[in-house]
Chain A
């Protein structure tokens, strides 16, 4: 049960993110929901990397040591960068929408 806890946490974060994309009428809140969704995916990949009874993937000069997989961590660095770029683009679009329509509420459009 404890081993699967990160995956349950991922699922909860995912659901929370999807809820925040669908339910709020404000575009900025939807954007925050999207960011939460992306965090859920990060947690999922990092949870995949964990190897039972293994140490973090940082080199230690010890014989016969087991490491967790570093690959998903590396992949998620890329995903974080992509997420930041997407968020920046989304905020730029929201600024333009706000300037043009003086509102970010979906019902006002």
Chain B
């Protein structure tokens, strides 16, 4: 019975959360950096297999109930097509990341004493567990609890670096994170006051009976809290300061994962704020401002890590602009964007890990073509994908976004187009650096594991360029489920 497919499928939501949590605790017992990496790799590969199995075999939503208390009284996890797809994407990204850092022995260890350098990996696994919990939970207070688990685990990680001001930036991140979590908690309280339940299914059913002005207040506060966590312009400076001052591995870890999770939080509440056109307008305006401002600030930067951080902030604008739309086409685009954006972000984040230099001013890319034509070609492919230039899948995705917005008579289409153009321009600037030949030459140390991961990523991105049929299926099933 234990190997019956329906029995295994029912356990998947709990397994996805518990595997990294269990290995995080087990890792503490072994004071070894090497074993910590192995545990990190095992945790990510197991979750990836479980998430892939679940997504391939799911045929209806799975509700995992804790303690036998059925909803709406008890806490439950909901594994449907959308959350299954998100778990798959996040686990894929983390799995490739865990391969990339297997060989990075001179990063985190530089900043922490030898008897504690395994602890960051436990914290990262706890954060992963919390992220999966946020994707899968069907209870809004449970969402807040997982959010706080992720936040509390991330504060110590943001002190792992050599920047003198890292503790100040970590403290500022703590203040802003707690403030935004408190605002989210107040909005949860307002939802509870109106509906009388914390279960998302009950909320979706009964929220239309609530006072519309109260709905507007509630979801404005929720959006304020979530957008602060997403570092939407102008609430973005904490992200640049804190992520820029930490080790490359930790910077990459936060860079690749946190935006998708908070987008999924907004998506959970999407069915509710669709009832208010004022919230749609707020999201659209925020999205356009973030896209243009983030792209412009990235364009003015000369530091590679700051460029990719600001670019990540800018790309959140696309999600905020698409989220209010309720059509199957919009969901298709969001799903495709989530996967492609995550893989492109991962490839950008792995570049400093694969090619270690003393500093990451963009001049570190100079003369790459002299060092190795193959590596230059790899970097050019990565930056072409990030710039959304043809024939990358990101290009087709962006064309689809702009076509969809034009067909929906979206009034702010010009900022979206300008933002996309600016994004292309600064990545083209990076490509020009790669092929530029001059007298300067940064000393680059190549990490073979991270380089293998980069090659794997480029292969995956090329493969999915030709495999859009799968997105069609998941989008249709998600749309029906909503």
| B171 adjacent to A34 (CB under 8 Å) | no
Q: Which of B99-107, B160-168, B301-309 contacts its partner?
A: B160-168
Q: Is the C-beta of B159 less than 8 angstroms from some C-beta in chain A?
A: yes
Can you list 24 A-B pairs with a CB-CB distance of less than 8 A? A21-B175, A31-B175, A34-B179, A37-B179, A37-B182, A41-B182, A41-B189, A44-B186, A44-B189, A45-B189, A48-B193, A78-B141, A79-B185, A82-B145, A82-B148, A85-B152, A86-B151, A89-B156, A90-B171, A93-B155, A93-B159, A94-B171, A100-B167, A109-B165
Considering the complex, which residues of chain A in the window 11-38 have a beta carbon less than 8 Å from any beta carbon of chain B?
21, 27, 30-31, 34, 37-38
Would you give the shortest CB distance from B441 to chain A, in whole angstroms?
35
Chain B residues within an 8 Å CB radius of A6: none
Which residues on the A side are within 8 Å of B174 (C-beta)?
86, 89-90, 93
Given contact pairs A41-B182, A89-B152, A96-B159, A75 touches B167 in the complex (Cβ within 8 A): no
* Residues of B bordering A, CB below 8 Å: 141, 145, 148, 151-152, 155-156, 159, 164-165, 167-168, 170-171, 174-175, 178-179, 182, 185-186, 189, 192-193, 198
CA distance A34 to B172 in the complex (A): 12
Any B CB within 8 A of the CB of A97:
yes
Tally A-B pairs: CB < 8 A. Answer: 61
| Closest A residue by C-beta to B177 | A86
Would you list the 8 A-B pairs with minimal beta carbon distance, nearest first? A96-B167, A93-B171, A82-B148, A97-B167, A89-B155, A48-B193, A45-B189, A41-B185
Which residues of A pack against B, CB within 8 Å? 21, 27, 30-31, 34, 37-38, 41, 44-45, 48, 71-72, 75, 78-79, 82, 85-86, 89-90, 93-94, 96-97, 100, 109
Known: A82-B148, A89-B174, A93-B159. A41 touches B186 (CB 8 A): yes
A27, A34, A82, A97 interface centre (most CB from chain B within 10 Å): A82
Residues of B within 8 A of A38 (CB): 178, 182
Point out the residues of chain B lying under 8 angstroms from A34, CB to CB.
Answer: 175, 178-179
Q: What residues on A are CB-neighbors of B167 within 8 Å?
A: 93, 96-97, 100
Q: How far is the CA of A59 from the CA of B151 in the complex (A)?
A: 36
A29 to B193, CA, bound (A): 32
Contact residues in B for A89 (Cβ distance below 8 Å)? 152, 155-156, 174
